[in-house]
Structure 1
Amino acid sequence: MTTEFDSHVRRMVAWHFDPDTGSPFWLERRPGLGFDPVRDVSTAGDLLRFPDVSEELRTVPVTDLVPRGLRERPFRVFESGGTTGTPKRIVDSEARGRMLAWARDRLTDLGVPAAGHWLHLGPSGPHVVGSDVARHAAMGGGVFHTVDFDPRWVKRLVGSGRGALADEYVEHLLDQAATVLRSQEISVLNTTPPVLEAICARPALHDLVRSRVKAVLWGGMSADQETIRLLEEEFFPQAVVAGVYGNSLMGVAPQRVPRPGDSHRCVFEPHPGTTLVQLMDEEGAEVAYGERGRVRLHLVTEEMFLPNVAERDTAIRVEPVPGASTDGLADIRTLPSLGRSEIIEGVY
């Protein structure tokens, strides 16, 4: 990362550990850190000194996460999907909106329509992705259509061996999507790879998407290179197909514009202003370009400070594009388990 990001880290650490502006969450933990964050943290590399507190986000009172310096702002609470257990909670006021404006520019560079109506076949409710997609649609003056979608129920069905009921639930989702697509003008479809696979298995619905939709966005779960090729070349050749990596904690990392000579069909790029993603080996060292490592997240915003978070995914480290400082992430894969917990994805 650049010295500009190092300066950002210093400003945000000073903010979050100032008694007048910091959150109760971090101010309470300062004495037990074993170092002085304001004095000892000067670069992005120093973020590795912090403990991974993400497990505490499952139970912490969300009001403790709001910085005292921002108490006059309205905040919303969002939850993770619960793939690794009890959902984690974050708070957001304006920071994510700024990240989404940046991500929207990246998507339009890929050819996603700047204007038009969106259909979201994914979680809403406490999950941040529904709010994200709604804001993407609104930025282009479009209408946001969605379908009731409870990924936690699907994960429970899959985890308890009731796969047939999970399949039936997906068909229920597709029935509702077809109703929207038959009667509404939809430019962008946003969903997950398993749902896209289910769409393609229903010829009438597949034809409906191909005849109406100009862009297909996928995310929420990983897709290998052959799946991406099939989506781009075989199933939706008429549309722009693009991936978005991210979650409630890290925000969004849209696919970057492909470059000649890229060895990966899809390379994701995190937001350079607030997000540092490192790929680490089993000894905790950053891997070299072209190698696979586990995702280590550092989110550094005025609203949320989440350093040194070990994520559930691995990825291949890709060199930044010329003129940029942010590493790319390719071939995302979800770990089969974390500790004693099996990771169950279902359809999200």
Structure 2
Amino acid sequence: KGSNWLMLGPSGPRRLRLAIEHLAQHRGGICFCIDLDPRWVVKLIKMREIGMANLYKEHAIEQVLTILAGGHDIKCMFTTPKLLAAFDEALRSGKLEDKFRQLGKKIPAGGLKSIKAAGITGIFSGGTEFTPQFTREAYEEMLDNGDVYMTPTYGNTLMGLACSKPICPEDGFKISYYAPQPRAAIQVVEPKNFDKLVEYGQTGRVLLTTLTKEFFVPRFPERDEGERELPFETYPWDGVSGVRTFSEFAATTVVGVY
């Protein structure tokens, strides 16, 4: 509580940005946002302008380094797996230290070439690239073997944000998500028969039911698939792991910054 946040994710009129700002303020801090339009990234990738997309990513990271060099006591951040990796790479190459030198500021004795050294203690992250392989790499190489806490999330405007079961080496870095019941509930079903749940551990398409005071959408087929997961103590209802683009859509879906 009381920490300032950095929003390394989509800006503009998006629920995610508002949610992170609200979270920071609710916990007694303020949120610093960069200017990032993920739809422009998707357009660049569709046009095969990969070089331009990479330049735009560098532009986003440059904003982050400028904010961190400003001395705003930022301890927490939201980001996506792709942007987290780009942020880590920029730190390792000494770009935050370069910012300090440009501002005439003293570089701490331990340097500023890691996420931990940059003062970040916790990361809230989400995106389709959140695989066990990436999570292990992040845990071991980017986050000092878990010294920097990271928790994944999964969601959208209809669902809100699903929480994840704590990730750990003992569980193979598997990421299991649990919807924010009773606001939203998810089911993992047979792709050709939405009335049939798959068995635990089996792959199916995600169905989402949303129920709020203002809005009810029953059993909406998401563009995602994953494996059905058992309930556990904190979230005693079904979850889903291995979330990825539904296989029938994968060839035509551009992920962008997520």
Which TM-score applies when normalising by structure 1? 0.63
1:97 maps to which residue?
none
Query: Which of residues 75, 79, 82 is equivalent to 1:187?
Result: 75
Matched residue SS, 2:9: coil
| In 2, Cα distance between equivalents of 1:337 and 1:124 | 30
1:213 maps to which residue?
120
8 Å Cα contact 2:75/2:122 also seen in 1: yes
Structure (1/2) with the larger strand percentage: 2
Matched residue SS, 2:74: coil
**Unmatched 5+ stretches in structure 2:** 97-111
8 Å Cα contact 1:220/1:247 also seen in 2: no
Query: CA 1:234–1:307 in structure 2 vs 1: closer, same or farther (change >3 Å)?
Result: same
Matched residue SS, 2:52: helix
Query: Which of residues 276, 287, 292 is equivalent to 2:185?
Result: 276
| In 2, Cα distance between equivalents of 1:336 and 1:157 | 23
Matched residue SS, 2:113: helix
1:128 maps to which residue?
15
Structure 1 residue 336: Cα displacement: 5.5
Query: Which of residues 297, 314, 333 is equivalent to 2:225?
Result: 314
Deviation string, structure 1 residues 171-214 (Cα, Å, up to 9, x no partner): 00000000111122111111111111112222125725321100
Deviation string, structure 1 residues 275-294 (Cα, Å, up to 9, x no partner): 11001112322111111111
Percent of counterpart pairs with the same letter? Answer: 30
1:304 maps to which residue?
215
1:41 maps to which residue?
none
Query: CA 1:273–1:260 in structure 2 vs 1: closer, same or farther (change >3 Å)?
Result: farther
Structure 1 residue 247: Cα displacement: 1.0
Deviation string, structure 1 residues 236-275 (Cα, Å, up to 9, x no partner): 1230011011111211002123589645532211112221
8 Å Cα contact 2:136/2:173 also seen in 1: no
Structure (1/2) with the larger helix percentage: 1
Query: CA 1:254–1:323 in structure 2 vs 1: closer, same or farther (change >3 Å)?
Result: closer
Matched residue SS, 2:197: coil
8 Å Cα contact 1:264/1:331 also seen in 2: no
| In 1, Cα distance between equivalents of 2:53 and 2:226 | 28
Query: Which of residues 243, 255, 258 is equivalent to 1:345?
Result: 255
* Corresponding position: 1:145 with 2:145: no
* Corresponding position: 1:294 with 2:205: yes
Higher relative contact order (CA 8 A, sep 6+): 1
Structure 1 residue 330: Cα displacement: 1.1
Q: Which amino acid aligns with 1:209?
A: I
Query: CA 1:321–1:182 in structure 2 vs 1: closer, same or farther (change >3 Å)?
Result: same
| In 1, Cα distance between equivalents of 2:52 and 2:138 | 26
| In 2, Cα distance between equivalents of 1:191 and 1:332 | 17
Which TM-score applies when normalising by structure 2? 0.84
Matched residue SS, 2:242: strand
Correspondence list, 1:213-252, <5 A = 213-237=120-144, 238-252=147-161
Q: Which amino acid aligns with 2:182?
A: G
| Higher CA-based Rg | 1
**Unmatched 5+ stretches in structure 1:** 1-113
| In 2, Cα distance between equivalents of 1:208 and 1:325 | 37
8 Å Cα contact 1:244/1:268 also seen in 2: yes
Structure 1 residue 142: Cα displacement: 0.5
Query: CA 1:123–1:259 in structure 2 vs 1: closer, same or farther (change >3 Å)?
Result: closer
| In 1, Cα distance between equivalents of 2:126 and 2:46 | 21
Structure 1 residue 337: Cα displacement: 5.3
Q: Which amino acid aligns with 1:195?
A: L
Deviation string, structure 1 residues 51-96 (Cα, Å, up to 9, x no partner): xxxxxxxxxxxxxxxxxxxxxxxxxxxxxxxxxxxxxxxxxxxxxx
Deviation string, structure 1 residues 94-119 (Cα, Å, up to 9, x no partner): xxxxxxxxxxxxxxxxxxxx331110
Correspondence list, 1:1-348, <5 A = 114-183=1-70, 184-202=72-90, 203=92, 204=94, 205=96, 207=113, 209-211=115-117, 212-237=119-144, 238-258=147-167, 262=171, 264-284=173-193, 285-322=196-233, 324-335=235-246, 338=249, 342-348=252-258
| In 1, Cα distance between equivalents of 2:51 and 2:131 | 25
RMSD: 2.1
Query: CA 1:128–1:324 in structure 2 vs 1: closer, same or farther (change >3 Å)?
Result: closer
| In 2, Cα distance between equivalents of 1:159 and 1:344 | 7
Q: How many residues align?
A: 234
| In 2, Cα distance between equivalents of 1:167 and 1:122 | 15
